[in-house]
Structure 1
Amino acid sequence: MSAKKRNTKEEKSMLFTPLNYKLMGLGLLLLIIGFTAMRIENEVHGFISLYISPVVIIAGYAVVVYAILKRDHKVENPSASTHSSS
């Protein structure tokens, strides 16, 4: 009986594509690098702490936001291509 229930259920599509997950991983890596570089220098008026790390951290947040908002239009509506108007 459980086999019938599994066959009748529709397959759920994933919320994000593999590209989205890779971009989120890249953004998280940039955040870790930025905060680590800021901590390693450990100087308030250092060049890395003032100029390099904030740019890397903002880039990391931007990549994560882009990865969350990016949609693959091909995957979004696959039935639209099968129904063509005459």
Structure 2
Amino acid sequence: MKNKNTPTNKEFIFQKKNYLFMFIGLALIVLGFILMSGGGSDDPNVFNPEIFSFRRIRLAPTVILLGFAVEVYAILLNPNKKKENQ
């Protein structure tokens, strides 16, 4: 049974640097979805070729994938690791 007066040592799994990279990755993902939005037509009988623009087909998915790559890097980053060349 634990004593209530014993201080518990609570630590977060990630450090400040990890969360910084996570927010950068999240911002890139949101930016990619914003770039992908739009291009529709108000009239369903009229086709709008703007939906196939470079921004929506190439740029937006690339930005989203880059955001996911930053997220993976943020999770795998070890901020406590010292540089070897010091």
TM-score by length of 2: 0.69
The runs of 5 or more residues in structure 1 that have no matched partner are 75-86
The equivalent residue for 1:19 is 17
Identity of aligned residues (%): 39
Tell me by how many angstroms 1:23 deviates.
Answer: 0.7
User: Which residue of 58, 69, 77 corresponds with 1:62?
Assistant: 69
Alignment coverage as a number of residue pairs: 70
TM-score by length of 1: 0.69
Contact 1:37 1:49 in 2 (8 A): yes
The runs of 5 or more residues in structure 2 that have no matched partner are 41-49, 82-86
User: Per chain length, whose mean CA-contact separation is higher, i.e. which structure has more relative contact order (CA < 8 Å, sep 6+)?
Assistant: 2
> Considering only aligned residues, what root-mean-square deviation do their CA atoms show, in Å?
1.9
More helix by share: 1
**Cα distance between partner residues in 2 of 1:47 and 1:67:** 29
